[in-house]
Structure 1
Amino acid sequence: MVKWLVALVACSLFSGSAVAQPRPSTGSAGPASAFSQILGRPTDRAVTISVLSAATVDAFVEYGTTRGSYTKKTPVRTVNAGTPAEFELGDLSPSTAYFYRVQTKAAGEVEFTSRDAAYFRTQRKQGETFTFGVQGDSHPERLGKMYDPELYIQTMQHVAKDAPDFYFLMGDDFSIERLIERGNKSQSAVDAIYAHQRGFLGLVGKSTPLMLVNGNHEQAAKYLLDGTANNFAVLAGKARTNFFPLPAPGGIYSGNAEPVEHIGLLRDYYAWEWGDALFVVIDPYWHSDVAVDNEAGTRAPQQPVESNRDAKRRARGNDAGGNQAEQLANRQGKGNRDLWQITLGEAQYQWLGKTLHESKAKFKFVFSHHVSGTGRGGVEVAGLYEWGGEDRRGVDRFFQMRPKWEKPIHDLLRDTGVTIFFQGHDHLYARQELDGVIYQTCPNPADPTFTAFNAQAYKSGDIFPNSGYLRVTVTPDSAKVEYVRSFRPQDEGEGKTNGSIAHSYVVKPREPTPPAQSKPPEPKR
């Protein structure tokens, strides 16, 4: 089945700014998908279904609370070829399972055709057990080196079988950097990258709402804005919000309410409660005036090969270049940057603090592509810049550089009882802990090399190689995280079983127990 899906691959068709869904072809671009449906922004009373079709069709959605019995339906509307259309199902009941199917009719057809039946659930009540899933960077542009479509489908099938209430993508899933390098500045080309992912994500997204986290390779970033409608940040921002129905402020959601010219609402940071948990997605890329990681159109600097002597010196912690953060920055070729310029921004920070302080949820989960959006490591870099307050020389400059902020971000997570901070970017599985907060780095879902990339940046914790995803089960009393491995049949062997659990752990609710409030040092007199 998997090989058959991979053999039916994408051949993108463009018409203006629209992009048609893949049609059967040959190659390795992903499963053919002339039609896809993606769920998003579920609330206690509504859910949104994004429909994408290769051909123009009339469509409606029918739904109900009993499998196979659809007692309600939306009005019929036209879905233009290659252009996503959103159907909102409203007047739903809280904490209820619903079943639905999309009906379509192309020009010249007399009867509507039923698409795959699927399901979703409205916002859970407190006390209910549920699951959600998380994957790290998929990087489809790194074919054979960090990505394999057959393996990606394997992971998606695992997730679909688990039927989580929602699924997080931690960023670097829609890289447009090759378009930037080639000067291919067109909405249709950017749209094709987002449409391509729907062929895979639709395996999960038809019954599980998707939650996107912005990554550095998306280049959906403030520093690229130039006031025109035809720049890569705008193209990426529009594709992101057009092809995936992401949360915006209203109903159970709070978040970024500031529209951006030529895009509208970014939907890049947002939060909501579900059952006994608070979920918070944050983003530095749309809020920093400088490139947070690599600049568009340039490849990230390659780390030089380390000699045996240098490796031994680093292992002893005796590098001559200063502390670990400075050494890492220098090895990455980014040592000259002022990382205080990387920021969540005033509005997002104040919103984050308010959201975390006011929530009484037993579990609090925070998601971002990476600590500060750049660098490598987890707790190793959590003490730096606006995240931890110190510069790379170990000097605390937080209140000098962020005079209006309550405290560094890590301190805010610690003092408000955050349970787990999830990040991607580093391309491995790593579980660490700092001040009671779990720092969880998420594995790639489709790396055929099964490598723990950047493991040298992690000095503590439980480290495992790719590939797979995280299944998180939340009960009223605990949250269990399981790393579910994915292997193709040819990869399996001793210690390599598809669907096996490589690592798991259980966390209990953390009560916010803030220490004495942080305050700037008294001025010298």
Structure 2
Amino acid sequence: MKKSVIIVLFLVFSINLANAFPDFTSLDLLGRPTENSITINLINGPDPISAYIEYGILPGNYTNSTEVQNINPNELLEFDIENLNENTQYYYILKAKLQSETEYSSSIEKTFRTKRNGPFSFTLFTDSHIDLGFPDNAIRLSTIIEGMSLNDNSDLSFFLGDNIQIATNGSSIITNESEAIQEYEIFRNALTSLNIPAFFTVGNWEGEPGWEAQEDVEVAINLRKKYFSNPLDTTYSESGSANEDYYAFTWGNALFIVLNVMSYTETDPFSNHTDETWTLGETQLNWLNSTLQNATEPWKFIMIHHTVGGYWPTWIWQGYGRGGGMAAYSGEQAIVHQMMQDYGVQAFFHGHDHLFTDIVVDKVHYIEAGNAGYPLSFSWPYDYAFTGYGRTRVDVISDEITKFYFININETILAEFTIDRLPPEITLIEPRQSGVFRATSKEFQFMVSDASDIGECNLTLDGDTTQGVVNPAKDIILEFYVNGLAPGLHSWSIKCSDYAFNEDADYYAHNGTYVPNTAESETRTFRILRNPLKKLFSAIPQPLQI
């Protein structure tokens, strides 16, 4: 009986404490992380409140705090926390009260971190299409994010457009601002368990088409800026758009570039049914080229809602930008694709077709990041695709290796592959350079090292490939054996290629072909002497043959 009373009293106390915390329409969402700052975004509820953040580098020990902000009902509450330590995890709580009260209440403790220097992971979501008419979309998105938060250690999250379905159709403006606000609030509530910074891409359904009147598009822009803290054009040295709709930044050893295919296209491609109309606009395209040209990071990733073009068996969908990697050479995407080849972009992430696939075109991976909630996919032209709900996780392991996973709504990995940036390293052992030998049989010894598996190695002897081995072991001495070498000077080298990709992926879409990384060793020379005994015996007169 005593235990029951204690439990009841504890529950009542907990409920009363929770009720004392002000009502927020949307709880904290992290954004704009740098090496020494971060932004925390909240949307206030129906009452005037006062609030501030306490934070520190140890759990429960908050040595710093922001200034108190006094916020009116339903307004944006944004904390820009600066002067943080580099590469550091922080713990924080929100302190808040009604302005009519004197005592602050505390939220649960959460964490954020500044820019990481070493290996890291990130996760991509796309096409949740939050809509008042499709309530299950938000449930699916929330389930996917909860699974990620429990099982992943991602540093960053990216939402690749069509996050919210607030326009009348995929090429129009917002016509009902009240409904749009409701859908933003539903979307933010689905992100409640997201405890890492979020970056957002403009898609077809957010209501920001470049061919509509600017005053109509401003409604959508202002709502997006309120509910999402995308980077400002001053947040990162890479700059970007003052409208917070395209931007770039670095994290660890990677460059991230987020593009906007909607807002700078001034003619409706869907109505004109042509992929040639899509454009980033001159300013954004030049900024993209400059950003890539100046980048020094080994890994370069681009995010966009769909390609700046389209490729589809039916003309109506081609004009709508479908096709992913199949559209690599269509419209302005051909220019973007050439930039990616010129500057070494490894992956081009996109959404739009509501599936996961990986198409490699000229060594650039066009990765459609999945379907975060919408009950429809456009998969029939793809040879390789997963159409279920899920997300893409990326592990940037080193300057050489990055791993990619498609993880479904049940947290099961359905597809995975690896990008290996660098070719294998080959060490020649024997025969030594300029060696002189009498034996006409030789062992050609070498070692090969790589961060991923080795596809094959071949011996080139006197300009001809003579022997090969498939999937050899690495980091051990390997050898090829050759008999009957003729007297004289010989040359030899070893060529090896890596292999790090799943065989199921569509590596041949639209003339694209996967080519493995290949390395060739230096060329060594050696000499085989003529056998003196053989010369002696050849000089002895032979018996006359009758």
Is the 8 Å Cα contact of residues 365 and 422 (structure 1) preserved in structure 2?
yes
> Letter of the aligned partner of 1:45 in structure 2?
N
Offset, 1:147 = 4.5
Is the 8 Å Cα contact of residues 138 and 147 (structure 1) preserved in structure 2?
no
In the alignment, what sits opposite 2:340?
A: 413
> Letter of the aligned partner of 1:376 in structure 2?
R
> Letter of the aligned partner of 2:247 in structure 1?
Y
Output one character per residue of 1:73-121: Cα deviation in whole Å (capped at 9) or x when no partner. Answer: 0011112221111111110011111111111001332211111211111
- 1:140-219, aligned counterparts within 5 Å? 140-141=130-131, 147-161=136-150, 162-178=152-168, 185=175, 187-204=177-194, 207-219=195-207
Percent identical pairs in the alignment equals 28
> Letter of the aligned partner of 1:433 in structure 2?
V
Question: Judging changes above 3 Å, is the alpha-carbon distance between structure 1 residues 46 and 181 closer, same or farther for their aligned structure 2 residues?
Answer: closer
- The answer to whether 1:480 aligns with 2:416 is no
Is the 8 Å Cα contact of residues 367 and 421 (structure 1) preserved in structure 2?
yes
Offset, 1:471 = 1.2
- The answer to whether 1:508 aligns with 2:438 is no
> Letter of the aligned partner of 2:94 in structure 1?
V
- The answer to whether 1:432 aligns with 2:359 is yes
SS of residue paired to 1:352: helix
Distance (whole Å) between structure 2 residues aligned to residue 135 and residue 142 of structure 1: 20
Identify the match of residue 248 of structure 1 among 232, 244, 250.
232
- 1:350-361, aligned counterparts within 5 Å? 350-361=286-297
- The answer to whether 1:268 aligns with 2:233 is no
In the alignment, what sits opposite 1:64?
A: 56
Question: Judging changes above 3 Å, is the alpha-carbon distance between structure 1 residues 380 and 47 closer, same or farther for their aligned structure 2 residues?
Answer: same
Is the 8 Å Cα contact of residues 247 and 253 (structure 1) preserved in structure 2?
no
Distance (whole Å) between structure 2 residues aligned to residue 237 and residue 510 of structure 1: 42
Is the 8 Å Cα contact of residues 171 and 213 (structure 1) preserved in structure 2?
yes
SS of residue paired to 2:199: strand
> Letter of the aligned partner of 2:392 in structure 1?
L
Distance (whole Å) between structure 1 residues aligned to residue 373 and residue 97 of structure 2: 35
In the alignment, what sits opposite 2:494?
A: none
Is the 8 Å Cα contact of residues 261 and 307 (structure 2) preserved in structure 1?
no
Distance (whole Å) between structure 1 residues aligned to residue 279 and residue 273 of structure 2: 13
Question: Judging changes above 3 Å, is the alpha-carbon distance between structure 1 residues 183 and 363 closer, same or farther for their aligned structure 2 residues?
Answer: closer
Distance (whole Å) between structure 1 residues aligned to residue 222 and residue 26 of structure 2: 21
Deviates more, 1:213-222 or 1:159-168: 159-168
SS of residue paired to 1:93: coil
Offset, 1:181 = 11
Question: Judging changes above 3 Å, is the alpha-carbon distance between structure 1 residues 510 and 353 closer, same or farther for their aligned structure 2 residues?
Answer: farther
- The answer to whether 1:343 aligns with 2:279 is yes
Question: Judging changes above 3 Å, is the alpha-carbon distance between structure 1 residues 180 and 437 closer, same or farther for their aligned structure 2 residues?
Answer: closer
> Letter of the aligned partner of 2:411 in structure 1?
G
In the alignment, what sits opposite 2:327?
A: 381
- The answer to whether 1:285 aligns with 2:273 is no
- 1:5-404, aligned counterparts within 5 Å? 34-54=25-45, 55-125=47-117, 128-141=118-131, 147-161=136-150, 162-178=152-168, 185=175, 187-204=177-194, 207-226=195-214, 228=215, 231=216, 233-257=217-241, 265-293=242-270, 336-372=272-308, 374-388=320-334
Is the 8 Å Cα contact of residues 445 and 467 (structure 1) preserved in structure 2?
yes
Question: Judging changes above 3 Å, is the alpha-carbon distance between structure 1 residues 436 and 90 closer, same or farther for their aligned structure 2 residues?
Answer: same
Offset, 1:179 = 9.3
> Letter of the aligned partner of 2:120 in structure 1?
F
> Letter of the aligned partner of 1:136 in structure 2?
T
Is the 8 Å Cα contact of residues 44 and 252 (structure 1) preserved in structure 2?
no
> Letter of the aligned partner of 1:105 in structure 2?
K
Is the 8 Å Cα contact of residues 362 and 510 (structure 1) preserved in structure 2?
no
> Letter of the aligned partner of 2:213 in structure 1?
L
Q: Number of residues paired by the alignment?
A: 389
Select the structure with the greater relative contact order (CA < 8 A; seq sep ≥ 6). Answer: 1
Distance (whole Å) between structure 2 residues aligned to residue 170 and residue 157 of structure 1: 18
Distance (whole Å) between structure 2 residues aligned to residue 154 and residue 33 of structure 1: 21
- Name structure 2 gaps, 5 residues minimum: 1-18, 310-319, 424-546
Output one character per residue of 1:196-219: Cα deviation in whole Å (capped at 9) or x when no partner. Answer: 211011320xx2111001101112
Is the 8 Å Cα contact of residues 285 and 292 (structure 1) preserved in structure 2?
no
Distance (whole Å) between structure 2 residues aligned to residue 59 and residue 285 of structure 1: 37
Distance (whole Å) between structure 1 residues aligned to residue 178 and residue 53 of structure 2: 27
In the alignment, what sits opposite 2:449?
A: none
Output one character per residue of 1:370-411: Cα deviation in whole Å (capped at 9) or x when no partner. Answer: 1126332122211111112xxxxxxxxxxxxxxxxxxx1111
Distance (whole Å) between structure 2 residues aligned to residue 457 and residue 343 of structure 1: 24
Offset, 1:354 = 1.0
Is the 8 Å Cα contact of residues 61 and 74 (structure 1) preserved in structure 2?
yes
Distance (whole Å) between structure 2 residues aligned to residue 443 and residue 340 of structure 1: 26
In the alignment, what sits opposite 1:441?
A: 368
Offset, 1:478 = 1.3
Question: Judging changes above 3 Å, is the alpha-carbon distance between structure 1 residues 446 and 339 closer, same or farther for their aligned structure 2 residues?
Answer: closer
SS of residue paired to 1:224: coil
Question: Judging changes above 3 Å, is the alpha-carbon distance between structure 1 residues 342 and 148 closer, same or farther for their aligned structure 2 residues?
Answer: closer
Distance (whole Å) between structure 2 residues aligned to residue 510 and residue 141 of structure 1: 44
Is the 8 Å Cα contact of residues 163 and 208 (structure 1) preserved in structure 2?
no
Is the 8 Å Cα contact of residues 37 and 50 (structure 1) preserved in structure 2?
yes
Offset, 1:243 = 1.3
Higher-Rg member (1/2): 2
Distance (whole Å) between structure 2 residues aligned to residue 151 and residue 354 of structure 1: 39
Distance (whole Å) between structure 2 residues aligned to residue 189 and residue 130 of structure 1: 38
Question: Judging changes above 3 Å, is the alpha-carbon distance between structure 1 residues 124 and 82 closer, same or farther for their aligned structure 2 residues?
Answer: same
Offset, 1:122 = 0.7
> Letter of the aligned partner of 1:482 in structure 2?
Y
What TM-score does the superposition give when structure 1 sets the normalisation length? 0.70
> Letter of the aligned partner of 1:218 in structure 2?
E
Identify the match of residue 349 of structure 2 among 389, 398, 422.
422
Distance (whole Å) between structure 2 residues aligned to residue 217 and residue 183 of structure 1: 8
Is the 8 Å Cα contact of residues 49 and 88 (structure 1) preserved in structure 2?
yes
SS of residue paired to 1:469: strand
Is the 8 Å Cα contact of residues 427 and 454 (structure 1) preserved in structure 2?
yes
- Name structure 1 gaps, 5 residues minimum: 1-23, 25-31, 258-264, 294-333, 389-407, 487-497, 512-525
SS of residue paired to 1:95: coil
Question: Judging changes above 3 Å, is the alpha-carbon distance between structure 1 residues 181 and 382 closer, same or farther for their aligned structure 2 residues?
Answer: closer
Q: CA RMSD in A?
A: 2.5
SS of residue paired to 2:219: helix
Is the 8 Å Cα contact of residues 79 and 85 (structure 1) preserved in structure 2?
yes
Offset, 1:480 = 1.0
Is the 8 Å Cα contact of residues 25 and 185 (structure 2) preserved in structure 1?
no
Distance (whole Å) between structure 2 residues aligned to residue 510 and residue 237 of structure 1: 42
Is the 8 Å Cα contact of residues 66 and 98 (structure 1) preserved in structure 2?
yes
SS of residue paired to 2:211: helix
> Letter of the aligned partner of 2:41 in structure 1?
S
